[in-house]
């Protein structure tokens, strides 16, 4: 059996703070295969973005990272900055929420696209320019020659995100990490960017690690889903199972709390299902289940013993003492 | 029923570039001839993408900006040009909740003083005991314990802070609450709590809501009527059920079709609208939507369509009967 494209095992990330180490990610494991999209879903503070940054070694020095991050079987944790630089772009492309903060405001789009290409591929002059144009065309930019001469502030948010995707995919990396790629965009533009990511993935067969809080984006793109709560996976399953048969009460809560078009019949108003309270601070729950304080099915045992992530059915894992009982209730 | 709020021909133009050096001055028509009204106890949602003028419209209604033209009437009083001494007592009637509670709550004030401020300003309570009692009442109304009074905003989560912002807005017993992206910054699980709270408050207090949002799914959930804005104009205004069942304007249709799938089985069903909204300083002639509309024909490029009736309780600004 060949090694998975990306294999994250028992990832732990903690940040040094005045009060000692604050754990943010607490033993997270997942695998990403070529051509597939794995979504990591969670709310603010769940540790989802920290997970993404730890894979590419972009966490600040105050972060303590443990576990294994294997790319094609090769350990990434502990790599020297030089090797990590080589990896970013060539092996892993990155797209973040706000392209305005990831693009350099004083360089033209052309400078930045060319830099991304030339960093990992020997190319100069007319060939480099032609490749840059081609990359912009591939992300649906109609006037690539003009855009190459423009600065980031001259582009709309959607165009900037297209440029980011072009840069991320410049070297045809096997992995694309997209952290909230459409959160800052208007809904009509979001639909365009989601379609673009899907189309680029079909072309290059890359694995996409999608980090998002938005279940709508998950429904559009993901094959497999990890639901993160307070730094731990509470459920992992195929996307259809997550939406049709959510097993963890938090997953069910998220699905019930969301608003979708056409959910209430004309003339009526559906009350949204609430998850009471708010998520605990990082490392705030010392024992028991981190979700126990907000869970409608809480059981005395939940306050004492933290449920481990255990197989539940063929292709699902759930961390809940009552998972089976609740799933069939 | 007489409206609590009437807006007639409201315009707000900003100078984007002063003239001179051979350059013509340019104007951004952020809000360009908007007319609408809200009945007591009704929720009117304003929905649109960034730059459509929805927040400017809210600020004009709150008298935080002076309109370039047009009128704002609150409960029979014309407030847009009213000098501030006369406007002051009327301001109690119309209060606002904004997107980011952390930037609208003074971090150095205790929750009690934050909520007491409007009570004191509008002379609605005096004396420590009376003020404390009313602040406690307001906190309970928004689902926070009375004890929250003694604490500072930073001690609360995002959702709780938004509750504090709502309590402050409710302090002067307004009849109209303007919510500008009031739940947009909140996590899904918290968003549901605040949306439900707003619905409950409206029912219990008979509040009218002007709910400004980019999120059409929330808008469908919360509104009685909906106005869809595009580049400064209302392109469609209709009762909620009519708008969602039979959207009459191509832009409304595009907005509805762009919403991500509710479940993976509906994946990729979204009909994608090409392009992005044009620069508001460089508005296309004719219909402002014609550069992105799938149904554009010659007339759209030269003549701006006006709102016309398309069904009971439904108006749309489009030359076609789609």
Chain B residue numbers touching A160 (CB-CB < 8 A): none
Output B279 or B212, whichever has higher pLDDT. Answer: B212
Q: What's the mean pLDDT in A164-183?
A: 93
pLDDT for the residue B16: 74
**Which one of B187, B238, B280 would you mutate to disrupt binding with A, by most A Cβ within 10 Å of its Cβ?**
B187
Torsion sign across C-alpha atoms A208, A212, A215, A216? negative
SS3 B168: helix
Cβ–Cβ gap A156/B193 under 8 Å:
no
Q: What's the mean pLDDT in B68-73?
A: 97
Average model confidence (pLDDT) across chain B: 92
Residue of A nearest to B253 (CA): A188
pLDDT at residue A1 tops 60: no
Q: What's the mean pLDDT in B293-317?
A: 95
Residue of A nearest to B256 (CA): A261
pLDDT for the residue A283: 63
B125 vs B171: CA distance, rounded Å: 10
Name the least confident of A266-280, B170-184, B254-268.
A266-280
pLDDT at residue B159 tops 70: yes
pLDDT for the residue B10: 97
pLDDT at residue A326 tops 50: no
pLDDT for the residue B282: 82
pLDDT for the residue B1: 56
Output A301 or B275, whichever has higher pLDDT. Answer: A301
Question: Confidence class of residue A272 from pLDDT cuts 50, 70 and 90?
Answer: confident
Closest by alpha carbon to A287, among A230, A227, A228? Answer: A230
A244 touches chain B (CB under 8 A): yes
What percent of chain B shows pLDDT beyond 90?
77
Provide the whole-model pTM.
0.89
Q: What's the mean pLDDT in A213-242?
A: 96
Chains A and B form CB pairs within 8 A to the count of: 146
pLDDT for the residue B20: 67
Give tens-digit pLDDT for B191-223: 999 999 999 999 999 999 999 999 999 999 999
Q: Which member of B215, B257, B267 has the closest CB to residue A219? A: B267
**Which one of A253, A260, A291 would you mutate to disrupt binding with B, by most B Cβ within 10 Å of its Cβ?**
A260
Task: Identify the bridge partners of residue A82 per DSSP, sorted by sequence position.
Answer: none
Average model confidence (pLDDT) across chain A: 90
Q: Which member of A189, A216, A273 has the closest CB to residue B192? A: A273
Q: Where are the alpha helices (DSSP H) in chain A?
A: 48-55, 81-90, 99-102, 109-120, 125-138, 144-148, 157-168, 187-204, 215-221, 239-244, 249-257, 300-304, 323-327
CB B70 within 8 A of CB B131: no
In order of B38, B93, B210, B276, the CA distances from B42 in angstroms are: 6, 15, 8, 32
Give tens-digit pLDDT for A91-128: 999 998 887 788 999 999 999 999 999 888 888 889 99
pLDDT for the residue A328: 46
Q: What's the mean pLDDT in B140-148?
A: 95
A45 vs A235: CA distance, rounded Å: 17
Name the least confident of B20-24, B217-221, B260-264, B314-318.
B20-24
pLDDT at residue A242 tops 60: yes
């Amino acid at each position: 059996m060949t090694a998975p494209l990306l294999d994250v095992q028992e990832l732990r990330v903690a940040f040094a703070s005045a009060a000692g180490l604050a754990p943010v990610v607490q033993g997270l494991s997942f695998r990403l295969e070529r051509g597939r999209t794995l979504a990591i879903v969670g709310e603010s503070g769940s540790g989802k973005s920290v997970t993404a940054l730890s894979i590419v070694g972009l966490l600040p020095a105050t972060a303590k990272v443990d576990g294994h991050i294997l790319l094609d079987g090769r350990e990434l944790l502990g790599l020297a900055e030089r090797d990590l630089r080589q990896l970013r772009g060539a092996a892993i492309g990155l797209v973040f929420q706000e392209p305005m903060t990831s693009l350099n405001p004083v360089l033209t789009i052309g400078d930045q696209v060319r830099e991304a290409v030339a960093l990992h591929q020997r190319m100069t002059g007319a060939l480099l320019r032609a490749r840059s144009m081609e990359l912009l065309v591939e992300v649906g930019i109609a006037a690539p020659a003009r855009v190459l001469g423009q600065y980031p502030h001259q582009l709309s948010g959607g165009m900037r995100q297209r440029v980011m995707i072009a840069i991320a995919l410049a070297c045809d990396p096997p992995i694309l990490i997209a952290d909230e790629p459409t959160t800052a965009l208007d809904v009509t533009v979001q639909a365009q960017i989601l379609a673009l990511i899907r189309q680029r993935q079909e072309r290059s067969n890359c694995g996409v690690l999608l980090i998002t809080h938005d279940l709508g984006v998950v429904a559009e793109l993901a094959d497999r889903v990890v639901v993160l709560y307070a730094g731990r996976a509470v459920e992992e399953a195929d996307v259809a199972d997550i939406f049709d048969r959510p097993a963890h009460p938090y997953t069910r809560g998220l699905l019930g709390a969301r608003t979708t078009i056409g959910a209430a019949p004309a003339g009526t108003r559906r009350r949204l299902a609430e998850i009471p309270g708010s998520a605990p601070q990082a490392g705030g729950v010392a024992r028991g289940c981190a979700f126990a304080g907000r869970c409608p099915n809480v059981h005395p045992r939940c306050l004492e013993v933290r449920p481990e992530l255990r197989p539940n059915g063929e292709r699902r894992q759930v961390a809940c003492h009552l998972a089976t009982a609740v799933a069939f209730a | 029923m007489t409206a609590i709020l009437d807006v007639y021909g409201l315009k707000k133009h900003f100078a984007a570039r002063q003239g001179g050096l051979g350059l013509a001055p340019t104007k951004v028509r952020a809000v360009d001839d908007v007319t609408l009204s809200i009945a007591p106890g009704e929720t009117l949602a304003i929905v649109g993408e960034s730059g459509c003028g929805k927040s400017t419209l809210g600020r004009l209604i709150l008298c935080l900006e002076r309109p370039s033209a047009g009128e704002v009437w609150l409960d029979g009083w014309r407030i847009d040009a009213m000098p501030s001494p006369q406007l002051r007592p009327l301001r109690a009637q119309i209060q606002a909740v904004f997107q980011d509670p952390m930037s609208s709550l003074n971090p150095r004030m205790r929750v009690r003083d934050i909520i007491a401020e409007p009570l004191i300003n509008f002379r609605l309570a005096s004396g420590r005991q009376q003020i404390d009692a009313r602040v406690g009442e307001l906190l309970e109304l928004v689902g926070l314990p009375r004890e929250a009074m003694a604490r500072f905003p930073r001690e609360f989560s995002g959702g709780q802070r938004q509750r504090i912002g709502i309590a402050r807005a409710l302090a002067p017993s307004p009849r109209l609450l303007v919510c500008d992206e009031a739940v947009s910054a909140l996590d899904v699980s918290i968003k549901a709590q605040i949306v439900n709270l707003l619905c409950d408050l409206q029912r219990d207090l008979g509040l009218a809501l002007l709910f400004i949002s980019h999120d059409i799914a929330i808008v469908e959930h919360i509104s009685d009527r909906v106005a869809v804005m595009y580049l400064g104009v209302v392109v469609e205004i209709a009762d909620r059920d009519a708008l969602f069942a039979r959207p009459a304007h191509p832009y409304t249709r595009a907005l509805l079709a762009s919403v991500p799938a509710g479940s993976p089985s509906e994946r990729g069903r979204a009909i994608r609208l090409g392009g992005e909204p044009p620069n508001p300083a460089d508005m296309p002639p004719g219909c402002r939507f014609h550069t992105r509309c799938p149904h554009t024909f010659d007339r759209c490029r030269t003549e701006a369509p006006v709102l016309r009736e398309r069904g009971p309780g439904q108006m749309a600004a489009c030359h076609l009967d789609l």
